[in-house]
Amino acid sequence: MSSFTLELGQKAPDFELPATDGKTYRLSDFADAKVLVIFFTCNHCPYVVGSNESTRATAEKFADQGVQFIGINSNSTNTKPLDALEGMTEEMEKQQFPWIYVKDQSQDVAVAYGAMRTPHFYVFNQDRELIYTGRALDNPKDTEKATVNDLENALAEHLAGKEITTPLTNPLGCNVKWEGKEKYWMPPEACDLV
């Protein structure tokens, strides 16, 4: 298991980040959520764009069971100007996604969580312990070819009071765009999770 990424059972690191709705959010603002899905995402990555509607469907499917989704964009705006808060706000106005969308300009939150790719999902239980991390779909770029939705399976199992069959998968997507680094650079300690 990579020490770069949060390990199963670890607590969700706190954050204080501005959102596209003009508010600033901390972890404690979501205290009422039975399950918290924090995922690292962006505006342009083909894996994100390809799977946004699938993520929307999952968020809507579990919303009435107390599951809250938060999307965090940690990409360097120097590398990807569209990932600035302004571009994120435009995207949200256009898409009306059912999640809070926040900007991690300093990238401190991406480091705290060990975000590797966009999208990279983290599911926390009511005590905010990590119970699932990795991908949602096995083919996020072309959802028609996807055969499994590990995120949805994990949520369904947890909410039914069962053990999560597959709590760990490798996130599939573009690397997080790190400030001051070449576009495809990843931290050397960011290895596969499984």
Every domain of the chain and the residues it spans: 10-175
Local confidence pLDDT in tens for the 194 residues of the chain: 446 899 999 999 999 999 999 999 999 999 999 999 999 999 999 999 999 999 999 999 999 999 999 999 999 999 999 999 999 999 999 999 999 999 999 999 999 999 999 999 999 999 999 999 999 999 999 999 999 999 999 999 999 999 999 999 999 999 999 999 998 898 888 878 88
Residues ≥6 apart with Cβ < 8 Å to 12: 6, 27, 36, 38, 122, 124, 128, 129, 130
Sign of CA dihedral 28, 154, 64, 126: negative
Measured distance CA(180)–CA(182) in Å, rounded: 7
The CATH architecture annotation of domain 10-175 reads: 3-Layer(aba) Sandwich (3.40)
Q: Tokens 């069971």 label which residue?
A: 65
